[in-house]
Each structure stands twice: as C-alpha cells, then as structure tokens.
Amino acid sequence: MAILADANTKIIVQGITGREAVAFTRDMIDYGSKVVAGVTPGKGGQSVYGVPVYDTVLEAVTKHGADASVISVPPTRVRDAAIEALSHGIRLLVLVAERVPRRDTLEILEFAREKDARVIGPNTLGMINPHVVKIGMAGGPVANVKSAYTPGTVAIASRSGGMTTEIANLLTLNGIGQSTCISVGGDPVVGLNFLDLIPLFEEDPGTEAVVLFCEPGGVIEETLAEMVATRGIQTPIVAFVAGRFVDKMPGIRFGHAATIVEGNKGTTSGKIARFREAGIHVAERLDDIVTILKGIL
C-alpha cells in the first residue's frame, strides 16, 4: 500500500526542458513512473526522453490526462506554474525549487486547499513508493534508488531530502522495507508536513511504523507531539532530531531556510522533550532507529 501516489499515477513535469528536470525526468522514467508529458512555454513540439513537450498544462492534460506535476522552474515562477496546474485538475504538486517567496507559497497552498489538492515542498526532492513510483528527484539515479529503497511497511517523512534516502538505505541494509518515503521540504513554509502525513500513515494499512527525520527550527514537531497524544495515534513513530548544537547558536540558520532557532522556539531539546512526553520513540543515533523498529515490528 502507499499514500498520495501509486503505479497508475500520471505525472507531468513543468519546466521539463531545464537541465535539472531533464535529468530527473529520465530517472523517473527509468524507475517506472508514468511521466506522460512535459510543459515548457515556447518549447511545444519537442520531446525529452520520448516524453512530449507542450506549451501549456491545458494541452498536456487534455491529450494525456494527469494526476501529479513536478514543478521545476525558477522560484519566482513557481506560483504561476502551480496555479496553472491546479486550475487544470492536477491534484498533487511536487515543488522542487527552493527560495520560493513565502507569500507565493502561501497563495499556492490556499489555492490547493480550494481545489482539494496536495502540495509537497517547496525545496523538496519529492517522494518514493519503493518499486512502485518515484515523483521528483528523491534518491537520484535509478540504480541508487533501487539499492537504497525496498518495499515494506515503514514510512519515512523527512525535513531533509538527502536524509530520506540515507534512512531508507539504513533500513534496507537491516532488512526493513519502506512503504512511502517523503521529503517534506526545507523551507519555512511548506505544503504537507508531519501534521498532515501522520494521519495519512495512520490510515494506511500498509504502514506499520513511521520514521521522522527532524531538524531545529519551527514548532511542527512540538505540535505533532500534542496531536499524537490528544488524538491517540496508534501507529508507532520513531524520531531522530538532528542538529542539537544549533540550540546554543540562536538566530543562525544552518542548511535549510527553516533550520533556525529563534529564542526558545524550535529547539531540539524542546522537540525531544515533547516527543518523549507523547510516547514517540526518540533515536539518539541513526542506527538506534533500526534497534527501536526491530523492537516494534
């Protein structure tokens, strides 16, 4: 089982003729994802690895149908591309660009809510349902993806795209397969986050446990702990909180735009304390994730 996408999901790529998009389009196709069309204004009639390119989303959707779009355009153009996709029936957006203006992101998310659509990112590598579908850049080339990700019952949600694959590979090496793996994005404002994903994993009969890779900054983790406690979430959650040194350096951003501690908000110590109070397992080291999971599954 999987959430958000499956083997039948039809994908378009907006900005498909860009260098980065050309590369991950090939990787998605090699993995078996159904990339049905691409969109780049002014490049209609071209093709990328056999994928036809159109000038507009309307043309692509009319001729091929589509459920999801990977948007790979400059950050200041993401809003227009997302609104175009949502206006023509796309129900899952993967926004790979970083530094998208926050106001633009908020407008995208509001419009997505009106259209009953879901957004992953911005600043995301995308998602993978192992051996089923890959949407975006997660895992890189197909050989890497197939060795790192294996089908199973442990979901992964991570604020770091690279660590999504690192954790999947760690689990795979220890005989633990994955259900759905999602890079939620490293910007301060993103679409689907832990609060949205945990209820989806809870409802998924193919997911028996969830691993979270957390970072300093923001209060999503603390809010999640409260939600788990008050709603009685039954799916076991294992959390690894990276960057504990950041607590001693308030106001300084490390890596992702969202990785910044402001005053007493967003500290790793606060996140860890709330997790433990809510009954969420906290891994002190990455390999502790495996030990905890083997005790759960």
Q: Which residues are catalytic?
A: 256
- Among the residues of the chain, which ranges form H helices? 19-31, 57-64, 78-87, 102-114, 142-148, 161-173, 194-203, 220-231, 268-277, 286-296
For residue 114, what are the contacts with CB-CB under 8 A and spacing of at least 6? none
Dist CA 165 CA 163 (whole Å) = 5
- Of the CA atoms within 13 Å of residue 123, those in its CB half-sphere come to 21
Say what angle helices 220-231 and 194-203 make with each other, to 10 degrees.
30
- Is the alpha carbon torsion for 15, 18, 24, 25 positive or negative? positive
Which two tokens mark 208? 């028996």
149 contacts: CB under 8 Å, gap ≥ 6: 128, 130, 131, 139, 165, 168, 169, 172, 178, 181
